[in-house]
Structure 1
């Protein structure tokens, strides 16, 4: 399917838990893992938005979860929002250009 090769926007919110508490230092590990992928991203107050293809999404999620687990996360809730345009790619700028 061709649309799976087009750029999508994924809003990723991770809530990593260690010792019974949400740890913001572990959220930093998730953001660092995203940065290390080389994908375009934007950190927002409640989530991080990433541009990737639909086909790249499983690898991105695995990378984030592996980094958090390695950093000491014991449990993690991950919330996703995925925006797909079946004809065209979706960019962060599509939604943000009038605010930048």
Structure 2
């Protein structure tokens, strides 16, 4: 069981027949924003920080939001950074650059 905070990089790429994709992506990001978890939107993915089960729930809801917004299918890329004995935080990876 994973009890520590993790980082997840989530990219949701919708496929639609006639709709522009960015408003659909915005709906997925809105779910992340409303989750209460720490997140960072980047040009290629959104990184989420939180406990494993919380993060995975948000990942699922973001996909559902994209489908509800009109996507016919999704290509989802999910990358996880997990440590066995401690939390993972944004600062672990970025502090030396700030």
Q: TM-score, normalising length from structure 2?
A: 0.90
> 2-side partners of 1:13 and 1:60: how far apart?
13
Partners of 2:33 and 2:79 in 1: CA distance: 19
Question: Normalization by structure 1: what TM-score?
Answer: 0.88
In structure 2, the residue matched to 1:25 is 23
Q: Measure the CA separation in 1 of the matches of 2:36 and 2:97.
A: 24
Matched residue of 2:97: which SS?
coil
The answer for unaligned runs of 5 or more in structure 2 is none
Residue equivalent to 1:91: 89
Q: Which residue of 1 aligns with 2:75?
A: 77
Q: Which residue of 2 aligns with 1:61?
A: 59
Q: What is the RMSD computed on CA atoms of the aligned residues?
A: 1.6
* 1:56-82, Cα deviation, whole Å (9 max, x unpaired): 233112210111111111110100110
